[in-house]
Structure 1
Amino acid sequence: MPILLVVLFVILIDQFSKNYILAHMLPGMSIPVIQDIFHITYVLNPGAAFGLFEHQTLFFLFVAVSLVGAAIYFYPRIPKQYGLLRFGIGLLVGGAIGNVIDRIKTGYVVDFFDFRIWPVFNIADTAIVCGVGCIIFTMIYLYKEDEIND
């Protein structure tokens, strides 16, 4: 799947879900889906994961622009057989752009998935984590196997 489609899909689903939350909930509002296990909770997050680096919008913009720039530079150099690596980069970039859109609009990121034992997060965060997981898996397992087989 071309990286641009992955990036656009993540951004569209992320922004649609956040706009739905913005239109139908108030900050702090929580709707139980599975009582005491999973709730939809509207949170405005001024930082990164776990609320780190609150109100550092310029820093996050710099990181996201650097990430997109690196992806644009390195992606064409990745052999086609590394589909999982390419997919992971698409997820990572799409998630980063999804959260940057929020930061540019409001200075906050809209979070809403609340599993009660973990900080509240969103679809962009999920894409970033899954993308990094695909990249790490490829680098540890698939890349090394190819080196051994050469």
Structure 2
Amino acid sequence: NRNYKKEEFGVALDKDNCGQAYVCGRLFAVLEKLQRDASGIKLNRTIKDAYFASASAKPAIVFPKLIKLAQNHLNKVKSPAYYSILLGEIMDKLNGEFPETLLLQDQGRFIIGYYQQYQSFFEKKETNSEMEEN
């Protein structure tokens, strides 16, 4: 309880949240979406199936492997620039390295970051005309 620090999470993606666990969760979601988009077909096994638990516990060991795999996926998607920019923006928040380990409480933050980032891929984007009306 000495290390307890109350952290508030909204119900939507928080791009300004620089908590390392949350950022790693966001990064994992982008890597999984990239893999899915690159495959073009339904996958039997995604990186989520193979690496989610280990990535949320030991990011420093898992993420370098996933980033290497992502380089192959970038060559297969229609918009590699979109993913490259998004990955760069998220990785800039990691302070130059992946956390060695995440405590159970931080694994919860990882999960929240993952699901909020993944959900954001399916939200309707406002068009220019909708934004002008508001």
Q: Which is richer in strand?
A: 1
Which structure's relative contact order is higher, taking Cα pairs within 8 Å and 6+ residues apart? 2
Q: Indicate the structure (1 or 2) with the bigger Cα radius of gyration.
A: 1
